[in-house]
Amino acid sequence: MTNLDAVIKGFAAHYGSDPQGVWQAPGRVNVIGEHTDYNDGFMLPIAIPQAARVAATRRDDGVLRLHSAQSPQNTGTQNTGTQNTGTQGTETAELRVTELSPRTVGGWAGYPAGVVWALLDAGHQVGGADLFFDSDVPVGGGLSSSAALECAVAFAYNDLYRLGLTPTELALLAQRAENVFVGVPCGILDQLASSCCAEGAALFVDVRAIDPPQGRTRQVPLDLATAGLVLLVIDTEVKHAHADGAYARRREGCEQAAALLGVPALRDIGREDLDAALARLPEGELRALTRHIVTEDDRVERVTALLDAGDLRGIGPLLTEGHASMRDDFVISCAETDLAVATAVEAGALGARMTGGGFGGSIIALVEREDADRVADAVAAAFAAQGWKPPRAFAVTPAAGAARLA
């Protein structure tokens, strides 16, 4: 049975009729550009083949029914789509759209409910729906399982209620759902990647110019197969506690540094101005945070230029450098991701780095096709030697962004 058949059948079994349509939104890995989004900077994500799918039928009585094929029991320790480690909520929720208000819906249901709230809050005339979810984006792996859920719902509502919103506008609404309704202070990276990526390409994002007509944000061809390369994702399957609070503190630190430097955001400090800027900040954390953001923006531009020039192998060292910057300056890596990256590079990866918000989750490793198994095995062996549970390795290719499937 295909993924499409499965979600249609699931909808019919649960709600007793066929859905009006099916929409899909992918997870993502970020090739480079971490924590730069809320600093108005640059990122280079790809969408991955793993995606959230939603089968949906519009309801005009204001009732929003949500059901997930992933029950809390069969998604490990977490609910489908939740970023945090709570196990609150069940696989089914029934809500009234007019009663939705921020922070009132816990667990995975908060993401889809938040999108409906964000649409209403922005003045769109939307009502209820019956929604059935099925997702193969690993939860808690730093691969944006929650953004995938949000974007699938945003795209479904856009069609069911004929809103005519663009993928970029839907991404911004999904981010607002997460920021305000769920209460996670994330940037735009995940939702924009899920909504706007294209098959066979990475998406260069300039947060100050995310609408394609503004020119800067654009698709950058990334044909790994023709180059004989594989992008491995190695999910450490660990998510350290307090990740949400640590994320918020990094964000506050960056804002504080920008204020002390008298710029709207750290993006406004160029690589050539970094030393002078650091000298104006107090020694310690604010300097380190600033150094990561400014050098990371620079790495995104350099990686993009190499891809434009067709030098895919050339980006390897910049990926590994990016990991060191997250480990030493931004202090968001952990023993598991550090070991995975170091082992992958020792085993012959061209470059490797943690991807996503940090404190666990997944690493990516760029490898020659013939080295892929060796690199994955080496990381597995290194984890076994520590007595850690086996990481999960799989190859990804740049996939399409969110779309209607049926």
250 binding ligand GLA? (CB under 6 A): no
- Using DSSP's 3-state secondary structure scheme, residue 401 falls into coil
150 binding ligand GLA? (CB under 6 A): no
Shortest Cβ 177–ligand GLA spacing (Å): 12
Shortest Cβ 131–ligand GLA spacing (Å): 22
Range in contact with ligand GLA (rule: CB under 6 A) among 28-36, 84-92, 105-113, 278-286: 28-36
Integer Cα distance of 357 and 277 in angstroms: 25
Q: Which of 187, 401 has the CB closer to ligand GLA?
A: 187
Q: Which of 53, 292 has the CB closer to ligand GLA?
A: 292
Two tokens, residue 83: 């970023």
190 binding ligand GLA? (CB under 6 A): yes
Range in contact with ligand GLA (rule: CB under 6 A) among 148-156, 159-167, 185-193, 278-286: 185-193
In total, the chain counts a number of residues equal to 406
Choosing from 19, 34, 113, 347, the residue that interacts with ligand GLA (CB under 6 A) is 34
Q: Is 211 exposed, middle or buried (0-12, 13-18, 19+ CB in 10 A)?
A: exposed
Integer Cα distance of 194 and 267 in angstroms: 23
Range in contact with ligand GLA (rule: CB under 6 A) among 33-41, 148-156, 272-280, 344-352: 33-41
Q: How crowded is residue 35: how many other Cβ atoms within 10 Å of its Cβ?
A: 25
Choosing from 24, 35, 232, 261, the residue that interacts with ligand GLA (CB under 6 A) is 35
Shortest Cβ 189–ligand GLA spacing (Å): 4
Choosing from 115, 186, 261, 344, the residue that interacts with ligand GLA (CB under 6 A) is 186
187 binding ligand GLA? (CB under 6 A): yes
Q: CB of 236 within 8 A of CB of 360?
A: yes
Q: Is 268 a catalytic residue?
A: no
196 binding ligand GLA? (CB under 6 A): no
Range in contact with ligand GLA (rule: CB under 6 A) among 112-120, 186-194, 274-282, 334-342: 186-194
Q: CB of 87 within 8 A of CB of 96?
A: no
Shortest Cβ 357–ligand GLA spacing (Å): 3
Q: CB of 323 within 8 A of CB of 352?
A: yes
Determine the number of helices (DSSP H) and then strands (DSSP E) in the chain: 12, 13
107 binding ligand GLA? (CB under 6 A): no
Q: Which of 19, 138 has the CB closer to ligand GLA?
A: 138
Q: CB of 115 within 8 A of CB of 134?
A: no
Q: Is 189 exposed, middle or buried (0-12, 13-18, 19+ CB in 10 A)?
A: buried
Q: Which of 186, 366 has the CB closer to ligand GLA?
A: 186
202 binding ligand GLA? (CB under 6 A): no
Integer Cα distance of 403 and 24 in angstroms: 6
Shortest Cβ 37–ligand GLA spacing (Å): 5
Binding pattern for the stretch 251-270 against ligand GLA, x by CB under 6 A and - elsewhere: --------------------
Strand-pair category, 128-135 with 63-68: parallel
* Residue 178 backbone dihedrals phi, psi, to 5 degrees: -70, -40
Q: How many residues of this chain interact with ligand GLA, rule: CB under 6 A? A: 11
What is the CA 3 to chain-centroid distance, rounded? Answer: 21
Choosing from 189, 232, 300, 312, the residue that interacts with ligand GLA (CB under 6 A) is 189
Integer Cα distance of 326 and 312 in angstroms: 22
316 binding ligand GLA? (CB under 6 A): no
Q: CB of 344 within 8 A of CB of 365?
A: yes
Q: CB of 8 within 8 A of CB of 18?
A: yes
Choose, from 190, 206, 235, 329, the residue flagged as catalytic.
Answer: 190
Integer Cα distance of 365 and 61 in angstroms: 49
Choosing from 140, 141, 316, 357, the residue that interacts with ligand GLA (CB under 6 A) is 357
Choosing from 8, 10, 24, 37, the residue that interacts with ligand GLA (CB under 6 A) is 37
User: CA separation (Å) from 304 to 117, 140, 192?
Assistant: 36, 28, 17
By annotation, the residues acting in catalysis are 190
Sites of contact with ligand GLA (CB under 6 A) = 30, 34-35, 37-38, 186-187, 189-190, 356-357
